[in-house]
Chain A
Amino acid sequence: MRLTEHPVLRFERGREVIIYFEGQPIKAYEDETIAAALHANGIRVLNYSANEKRPRGLFCAIGKCSSCLMVVNGIPNVRTCITLVEDGMTIERQRGKAELPKDVKPPEWKDAKVVKADIVIIGGGPAGLMAAIHAADAGAKIVLLDENPMLGGQLVKQTHKFFGKREQFAGVRGVEIARILEDEVRKRENVEVFLETSAVGIFQDGDEKLVLAVKNNRELIEFRGRAVIVATGAMEKMIPFENNDLPGIYGAGAIQTLMNTYGVKPGDKVLIVGAGNVGLILAYQLIQAGVEVKAIVEAMPKVGGYFVHAAKVRRLGVPILTRHTILRAEGRERVEKAIVAQLDENWNVIPGTEKVFEVDVIALAVGLRPSIELLHQVGCQIKYIRELSGHVAVRDEWMETTVRGIFVAGDSAGIEEATTAMLEGKIAGIAAALRLGIADESWVKEIEKAQRDLDEFRSGPFGRHVMEGVKKALVVRE
């Protein structure tokens, strides 16, 4: 079901088109993804697993996992969560490993288009956009690529107002920040943007860095620059419980994408797992979209996110069950029930405390991990740092990794906030321009200001553990 009214958002839908799902015509709108269009029409099973033939649906909705793969116009393994609908498109559920079509000519190396710049930025979220803006202002020629059909990264679904200081957009909604940053990037002539373009590898080629990418699932492009900034964000975590692969169990971010970016109601009754900021904010957003939130369960003995976010949903009647966990989901081709239970002080389930929630959606808001695949592949030193929520690239204070010319910023450098991602992006962008000899030394002051702002933001109890993590991630150059 599509949302028409919303207290915060206005949905502008493109031209109406018809797509064919397993032969049936379905109404969709240009500028929406295949997965969003299918959900709007009540279709949640997108494929069946290879071995047990279990139904699978959307999970991350931002192109980071494989749970939405479908056969589109005869081509298998299409990530339908980031692929836009086109008039007349044929879409079929994928059943296990689908065979590649034999009559399609794959792109060849010599055909690849070459795009050159000083700095190649991978990822158009808060970190990548800020990196582009500042590196461009420092005089560098930038190419920015993102595999999603729009710029803004996860800001485009953040309807809540940001915290921090007003010069860092505090009091402004994330969706609005995305618009502001996109406008800034678009008005700079020395930034070229490529959307629906997935970077698949980074290589050193003489003095140049080569970023190989695929546009629109079919066109190979070589991006060449002297520095690369990796701002690829993060990936939603999953937790183990029975039937955790049933359609209707989404990462929290996927629900935000469906509901806030595409205006598609994810379901009617929701259980949220995780009372960190993401889970709490999601609960509030669901209520704003007219969806009932049955409860938030949290294994920790306390609310992990900001108290004010918890207070917001409690006063609208949502219970928060601390020291509770999800035991299993039930349902055939979709979630019908969620079974939760209380935990004792040793994290063991207390028998007899099971509660059954009749829900059609289970949202997992159990944390994120940095997306470091490209950094790993190009040979950056990687370290596991718990405080940064996973494996991250070792870097210096200017966000340069152990591979010269490769910088990192935002969640791919460690899970934090969009505010800190923007500051890190600014640092990485200016630093790259400085190290390439493009920016003059006056820009060092701008880096120092951003570093002070970061320190201030991280100085409270919520930032302190991140600060510890950042220290562990630092390499000191001789």
Chain B
Amino acid sequence: MSEIPEYLRTGYITPEELQKFIPLPSEERLRKRPVAIPECPQEIPCAPCREICPTGAISMPTPNDLPIVDYDKCIGCSLCVQICPGLAFFMMHYVGDKARITMPHELLPVPERGEEVVLLNRVGEPVGKGKVLTVVPRERSKGDTPIITVEVPIELAWEVRAVKVVRE
């Protein structure tokens, strides 16, 4: 029982711990164009991300293996973010001093393009504000899940994993 990984004790994973299971993209790659990052450290029987990827960038010999993304092959199409049943795929892109994070958003209200939203970290704490750049509504999403792209200060790129829409 002493071998329980920290992420299973707490229910969330830090980028440092994630890196032990899934190699993360380099800063150079993050600057080039959007790239998909799976936060999926556990062997569960699941493969839709691999099956939907149009460039074969996700390797997974059996459905119980971890999804390993070939970041050079990834074209940043976001289909994996849309289909992932675990809502565990994110896309990231560094642009100047901002990071653009693409994430699922299955809550009401769905934010609108251009709207300012509260940024939440992996334990749901507000860590700042960001602007919604794009919204793929549920009807146009491949996996019946709305996804949004939010612009955040670059230092929050590896912290923000959800947003809260606050309207008067």
Q: Using CB atoms and an 8 Å cutoff, list the residues of chain A in contact with chain B.
A: 5-8, 160-166, 170-173, 176, 275, 287-288, 290, 301-303, 306-318, 320, 322, 419, 456-463
Contacts and interface: CB of A to CB of B under 8 A. Distances in A.
Interface stretch (B43-51, B69-77, B91-99, B150-158): B43-51
A173 B62 CA distance: 22
A309 to B, nearest CB: 7
B12 A310 contact: yes
A293 to B, nearest CB: 11
B128 to A, nearest CB: 15
9 contacts: A166-B52, A170-B51, A170-B85, A171-B85, A287-B107, A290-B108, A311-B13, A456-B45, A463-B64
A138 B9 CA distance: 48
A458 B62 CA distance: 11
A6 B108 contact: yes
B114 to A, nearest CB: 21
Given A287-B107, A301-B1, A460-B64, A314 B12 contact: yes
B24 interface: no
B44 A7 contact: no
A161 B59 CA distance: 21
Contacts of A303: 8-9, 11
B9 A307 contact: no
Given A161-B143, A165-B51, A318-B124, A313 B43 contact: no
A314 B45 contact: no
A69 B106 CA distance: 36
A223 to B, nearest CB: 36
Given A311-B12, A316-B120, A318-B124, A456 B63 contact: yes
Nearest to A463: B45
Task: Kindly list the 9 A-B residue pairs having the minimum CB-CB distance in the complex, ordered from nearest.
Answer: A317-B124, A308-B86, A460-B64, A310-B11, A161-B85, A163-B46, A302-B8, A171-B48, A320-B11
Contacts of B47: 164-166, 170
A303 B7 CA distance: 9
Best-surrounded residue of B1, B40, B106 (most CB of chain A within 10 A):
B106
Contacts of B162: 315-316
Nearest to B7: A307
A287 B83 CA distance: 21
Interface of B: 1, 4, 7-13, 39-48, 51-52, 62-64, 83-88, 106-108, 110, 120-125, 138, 143-146, 161-162
A457 B161 CA distance: 29
A306 B86 contact: yes
Given A7-B107, A161-B145, A314-B10, 9 more contacts: A8-B106, A161-B85, A171-B143, A176-B144, A307-B13, A308-B86, A311-B13, A311-B88, A456-B63
B122 to A, nearest CB: 5
Contacts of A173: 144
Contacts of A161: 83, 85, 143-145
Nearest to A176: B144
B8 A170 contact: no
Contacts of B9: 301-303, 322
Nearest to A277: B44
A309 B86 contact: yes
Contact of B46 (A5, A7, A164, A290): A164
Nearest to B144: A173
Contacts of A166: 47-48, 51-52
Given A166-B51, A314-B124, A308 B8 contact: no
B86 A316 contact: no
Nearest to B104: A312
A462 B45 contact: yes
A452 to B, nearest CB: 12
Nearest to B44: A306
B35 to A, nearest CB: 19
A317 B125 CA distance: 7
A312 B108 CA distance: 15
A160 B106 CA distance: 10
Contacts of B10: 314, 320, 322
A308 B18 CA distance: 12
Contacts of B63: 164-165, 456-457, 460
A463 B110 CA distance: 36
A316 B163 CA distance: 8
A287 B122 CA distance: 16
Contact of B64 (A302, A316, A459): A459
A7 B122 contact: no
B106 A275 contact: no
A171 B83 contact: yes
A290 B41 CA distance: 29
A287 B164 CA distance: 12
A167 to B, nearest CB: 9
A66 B48 CA distance: 40
Contacts of A302: 4, 8-9
Contacts of A311: 11-13, 39, 86, 88, 122, 161
B127 to A, nearest CB: 11
Contacts of A308: 39-40, 42, 44, 86-88
Nearest to A289: B108
A170 B12 CA distance: 24
Contacts of B121: 315
A163 B64 CA distance: 11
Contacts of B83: 161, 171
A164 B49 CA distance: 10
Contacts of A7: 106-108, 110, 138, 146
